[in-house]
């Protein structure tokens, strides 16, 4: 079962790791202040950067603003925590057979929609059937995937998935919000696109749709209310109000004008100002992206790329921390390998490579290269200089990164020309046809808690897949192939650990940095936590713990914020 999830983007996400300040009051040592005890009440208003299209989890793939709202209205069979581990959601439990081709799911008891009607497996079957629709709103790889999976409705609570072959990352596909069949019937996707349901959605999440905010015939926001029959932990906050703003600057101005208490996204231009706001807490989470330099390893005209020592030397000659600090303004952190840190699959014992030009020169000498004392000072071996072309997406910020890398390699004694290329051309004409020498790219793995590096580095993906570098390593491929079919979590972690160690040893591509994204909430909103994200709406993972009203022991409840 082929799963394609490599998308190249030309936008580096923003963010800065900022600690959350804790405000305390001085108390006598013998009588410490009691911790505030959350209680029900209050309205939280957030400035949402973006605009409304449809409230429908099947149709929100390309609109992050809709996905944020849908995250609170709808529920999936499962969800993932910050470490990428699956957690029960609508499903109470699940199991998989020995060969990994059959998954059985059991829904929770007494599940109800926001209109009070029962949730059954029929709703799941209907929703997942929509993903097989031949529509540009459904990504082709997602449609192909569900066409190969048989979904069997066993009874009202029991559901079975039959896969053509074992595929361990299968759970990634079960976080999609489930739709109510009793309201939509057998409505096809072509009709659902324009259904009134998308403006008055009914879901099963912790908050239900209440009403739209409309000004001058334009949707300016949406109001959600806590759902008192929610199957999970009941939210303390009783209403969440989203107000739409065109950009982060307008959202920040709304906070400064006391219109909102939270800002969904801070960009480079607003982050520094937000950090000076005394009442605003800025939270940062790693985004599902990774910037890398790919090499064409399957090009006999570039023999130096086939030497791991040369590739390591090229990495060590780049001051990646300088890029993060100066070019990205601290809105990323240096990457050590191909998988995301702080997730279940990441191995923290990987060898780390610091900026070390002298060490890079020693590696080139060990690889048999020499640097002429006069003339063009380019490392050469067998009359073949280390000389190549670096492509990069035509974007101003990425250009600064590319030019810094070019200068770093020039200073090392490597001849590099850097050329910007339009995004579509870089993918469709260069990478897919292996018509490149080196390329600076950003990977976007949004919505993929399972790492599944198979499409990018397995031998089988060289000719027709996304192993654009052409890394032909049998041991690495075996680790990836086994990790794709083994369902035991411990064994998968071991296989991915071995893969990461081998990747760093061979360094077939150069990991540069992971982007981060920043989110801001007024300090009076308590209980907010933010960990690594697999998509922007993951900032709401712990929203049922947020609170605006608190009480202390033997005291009456007090509001920690005014109601907007």
560 pLDDT band, cuts 50/70/90, is low
Would 127 be classed as within a structural domain?
A: yes
The CATH number given to whatever domain includes residue 293 is 3.10.105.10
pLDDT bucket at 32, cuts 50 / 70 / 90: low
For the chain, the straight-line distance linking the first and the last C-alpha, in angstroms and rounded, comes to 50
CB 284 within 8 A of CB 16: yes
- Give, to the nearest 10 degrees, the angle between helix 474-485 and helix 489-506: 160
pLDDT in the model for residue 113: 98
Side-chain half-sphere exposure of 306, counting CA atoms within 13 A: 8
pLDDT higher than 70, residue 158? yes
Residue 230 is assigned to a structural domain of this protein: no
Question: Could you report the per-residue pLDDT of 99-139, keeping only the tens digit for each?
Answer: 999 999 999 999 999 999 999 999 999 999 999 999 988 99
Confidence check: pLDDT of 254 > 80:
yes
Has residue 78 been placed in a domain?
Answer: yes
For residues 180 and 303, state if they share a domain: no
Residue 398 to residue 392: CA distance in whole angstroms: 7
pLDDT of residue 556: 55
Clarify whether residues 312 and 424 are in a common domain.
yes
Per the CB < 8 A criterion, the answer to whether 346 and 339 are in contact is yes
Taking the C-alpha atoms of residue 108 and residue 164, their distance in angstroms, rounded to an integer, is 27
CATH of residue 99's domain is 3.90.76.10
| pLDDT recorded at residue 33 | 54
Q: Could you tell me if residue 266 is inside a domain? A: no
Q: Which of 172, 197, 222 is the last residue of a domain?
A: 197
Residues 408 and 298 in one domain: yes
Pairing of strands 509-522, 332-334: antiparallel
Judged against a pLDDT cut of 60, whether residue 70 lies above it is answered with: yes
For residue 387, CA distances in Å to 98, 302, 409, 493 come to 51, 8, 10, 38
Last residue of a domain, one of 179, 197, 215: 197
Tens-digit pLDDT profile for residues 374-396: 778 899 999 999 999 999 999 99
State the total domains in the chain. Answer: 2
- Do 180 and 298 belong to one domain? no
Kindly state whether residues 319 and 432 are assigned to the same domain: yes
Residue 270 is encoded by which pair of tokens?
Answer: 């607003």
Share of the chain above pLDDT 70, in %: 91
Out of 176, 197, 218, pick the residue that ends a domain: 197
Question: Domain for residue 434, yes or no?
Answer: yes
Range in 34-43, 503-512, 547-556 with the lowest mean pLDDT: 547-556
Sheet holding 102-107, edge to edge: 91-96, 102-107, 158-162, 150-153
d(CA 60, CA 474): 39
CA 413/CA 234 separation, integer angstroms: 62
What mean pLDDT, rounded, does the chain reach? 91
Q: Which pTM value belongs to this model?
A: 0.89
496 and 359 both lie in a single domain? yes
**Any domain includes 204:** no
> Is residue 316 domain-resident?
yes
Count of C-beta atoms within a 10 Å radius of residue 124: 25
Residue-wise pLDDT tens digits, 312-354: 999 999 999 999 999 998 899 999 999 999 999 999 999 999 9
What is the model's pLDDT at position 330?
87
**Residue found by looking up tokens 């069997």 in the block:** 152
* Paired strand residues for 509: 294
Tokens encoding 381:
């071996």
**What is the rounded CA–CA span in Å between residue 495 and residue 481?**
9
DSSP string, 526-555: BS------SSGGGGGTTGGG-BSEEE-TTS
Q: Assess contact for 318 and 359: CB atoms under 8 A.
A: no
Q: Measuring CA to CA, which residue among 75, 156, 49 is closest to residue 518?
A: 49
Same domain, 294 and 182: no
How confident is the model over 216-232, as a mean pLDDT? Answer: 97
Q: Which residues, including other chains, have CB under 8 Å from residue 563's CB and lie 6 or more apart? A: 42, 43
Q: Does 192 lie in the same domain as 326?
A: no
333 and 480 in a common domain: yes
The pLDDT, as a whole number, for residue 532 is: 86
Distance CA(284)–CA(514), nearest Å, equals 12
pLDDT, residue 447, reads 82
Asked if 44 and 525 count as a contact pair (C-beta separation under 8 A), the reply is yes
Give, in degrees to the nearest 5, the angle at Cα 69 between 65 and 72: 150
Domain span at residue 404? 289-515
Q: How confident is the model at residue 501, as a pLDDT? A: 98
Percentage of the chain beyond pLDDT 90 is 84
Q: What is the mean pLDDT of residues 230-235?
A: 96
d(CA 529, CA 68): 16
Domain assignment of residue 540, yes or no: no
Cβ–Cβ < 8 Å for 59, 71: no
Q: How does DSSP classify residue 33?
A: P
For 525, half-sphere exposure in the C-beta direction (CA atoms, 13 angstrom radius) is 28
CA atoms within 13 A on the CB side of 542: 14
**296 and 186 in a common domain:** no
């Amino acid at each position: 079962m082929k799963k394609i999830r490599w998308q190249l983007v030309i936008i580096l996400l923003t963010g800065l790791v900022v600690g959350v300040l804790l405000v305390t009051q001085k108390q006598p040592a013998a009588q410490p202040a009691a911790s505030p005890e959350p209680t029900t009440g209050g309205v939280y208003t957030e400035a949402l950067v973006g605009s409304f299209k449809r409230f429908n989890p099947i149709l929100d793939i390309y609109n992050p603003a809709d996905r944020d709202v849908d995250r609170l209205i709808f529920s999936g069979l499962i969800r993932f925590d910050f470490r990428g581990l699956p957690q029960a959601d609508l499903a109470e439990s699940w199991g998989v057979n020995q060969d990994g081709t059959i998954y059985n799911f059991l829904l929770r008891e007494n599940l109800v929609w926001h209109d009070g009607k029962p949730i059954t497996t029929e709703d799941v079957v209907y929703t997942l059937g929509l993903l097989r629709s031949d529509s540009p709103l459904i990504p082709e790889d997602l449609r192909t995937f569900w066409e190969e999976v048989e979904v069997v409705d066993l009874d009202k609570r029991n559901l079975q998935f039959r896969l053509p072959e074992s595929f361990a990352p299968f759970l990634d596909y079960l976080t999609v919000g489930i739709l109510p069949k009793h309201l939509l019937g057998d409505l096809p996707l072509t009709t659902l696109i324009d259904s009134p349901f998308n403006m008055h959605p009914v879901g099963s999440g912790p908050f239900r749709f209440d009403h739209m905010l409309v000004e001058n015939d334009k949707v300016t926001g949406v109001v959600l209310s806590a759902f008192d029959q929610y199957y999970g932990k009941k939210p303390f906050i009783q209403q969440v109000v989203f107000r739409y703003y065109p950009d982060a600057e307008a959202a920040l101005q709304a906070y400064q004008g006391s219109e909102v208490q939270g800002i969904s996204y801070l960009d480079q231009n607003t982050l520094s100002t937000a950090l000076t706001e005394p009442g605003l807490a800025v939270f940062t989470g790693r985004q599902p992206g990774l910037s890398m330099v790919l090499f064409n390893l399957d090009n006999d005209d570039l023999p130096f790329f086939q030497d791991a020592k040369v590739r390591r030397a090229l990495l060590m000659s780049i001051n990646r921390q300088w890029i993060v600090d100066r070019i990205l303004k601290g809105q990323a952190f240096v990457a050590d390998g191909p998988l995301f840190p702080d997730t279940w699959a990441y191995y923290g014992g990987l060898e780390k490579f610091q900026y070390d030009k002298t060490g890079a020169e020693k590696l080139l000498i060990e690889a048999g290269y020499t640097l002429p004392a006069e003339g063009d000072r380019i490392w050469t071996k067998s009359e073949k200089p280390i000389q190549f072309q670096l492509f990069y997406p035509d974007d101003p910020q990425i250009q600064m990164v590319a030019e810094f890398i070019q200068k770093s390699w020039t200073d090392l004694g490597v001849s590099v020309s850097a050329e910007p290329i339009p995004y579509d051309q870089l993918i469709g004409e260069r990478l897919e046809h292996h018509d490149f020498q080196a390329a600076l790219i950003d990977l976007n793995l949004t919505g993929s808690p399972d790492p599944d590096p198979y499409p990018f580095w397995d031998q089988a993906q060289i000719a027709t897949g996304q192993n654009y570098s052409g890394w032909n390593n049998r041991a690495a491929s075996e680790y990836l192939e086994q990790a794709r079919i083994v369902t035991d979590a411990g064994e998968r972690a071991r296989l991915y650990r071995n893969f990461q160690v081998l990747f760093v040893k061979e360094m077939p591509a150069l990991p540069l940095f992971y982007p981060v994204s920043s989110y801001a909430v007024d300090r009076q909103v308590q209980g907010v936590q933010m960990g690594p994200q697999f998509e922007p709406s993951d900032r709401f993972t712990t929203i049922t713990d947020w609170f605006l009203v608190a009480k202390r022991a033997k005291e009456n409840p007090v509001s920690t914020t005014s109601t907007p």
